[in-house]
Structure 1
Amino acid sequence: MDDQLFKVSKEKCDLQSSCKVHLHEITNFKWDKAYFFSSNNYYSNQDIKKITGIFFDLQKYKTVKNQEYKTFAMFIYHGKLVKYGFFDPYLEPDYLDSPSKNQYFDMLFFVDLRSSIFQDKGHFGTVIKFKKNFQIAYYELTPTNDLLYISFFAHGSYYKGYTTEALALCSNLNQVHLR
């Protein structure tokens, strides 16, 4: 799923380093609620059901290929799960677990306005309207409130190769539940 979201986001942004995209425009299926859960928070099966109304055996997936380090996404249509996926968080190329792909799509679960990605006019700095730092527990989006800010970042080196990351961030605080 992250490959498809990356590809369509890149097309919508038309070579810009940062742009605004509606999530329903970059998905190729119908949904009326979408949830993105941070890889940094622990969610039990009961937490997922309480938040989404749908039982999902998340714990089953956490034992496979280090799923606990991935962003979890659920798309729901008329109360039924229509699509789910795990997004690989980008890992810096200098780490032992260097990236296995050349492109990534992921959601940003924190806003630190002191960070260069929020001050750099080439990235989120041109679109961010937030005044405070905050951490996001999870996203809850609907097709009428699904505008995301997306910035593209190239990571790596000439010797190890480059990876491009499409990093998506909420455009308003009605899309998120804060920690």
Structure 2
Amino acid sequence: MKKLIGAAIATLAVISVPAQAEGETHHRDLGDIYTQCGLGGLIAPKIPWLAVTTNIVWDLGLTATSSEITSPNSCKGSSAQAAALILETYPALERELAQGSGEHIDALLSTASCGGESRGEMSSALRAELSGLANQADYSQQSRLDHAKGFYAAFARQADAHACNLS
């Protein structure tokens, strides 16, 4: 309960941060960062209060702020959202692809606006891509970042092949 109250207070504080004056050379304000970056920006891009709350509860907003600091404007566009989602949830994506479905796969497919029949086809194609990646001789020695990079490349190929919109 204390964590929920703290998250609500932090949410209100972040949302109430005023926008920066035009012409300043600072990064976007925290409200924009917490609504457009991190896990919150991925799962609730059109519901600001939920995006902010998710980012704060998930990791106190560290992922959202670090992505903005290291790569300004990296949280814009579905391509950046897909890459961040893959990096942040790679182990869960592996499990869900092996099982055939799951919320992380659904979220990933949503970043590329894959709908209807293409969702099932994309999921099957991604399962095959992941199997190919996992069967590489050096897969077990690769870092999680390397796994995520390889899977993102496969995801981008499949999104293109299935006429999804990954921009």
TM-score, length-normalised on structure 2? Answer: 0.28
Q: Which has the higher strand share?
A: 1
Please give the TM-score of this superposition, normalised by the length of structure 1: 0.26
Higher RCO structure, 1 or 2 (CA under 8 Å, sep 6+):
1
Q: Pick the structure with more helix per residue.
A: 2
Rg larger for: 2
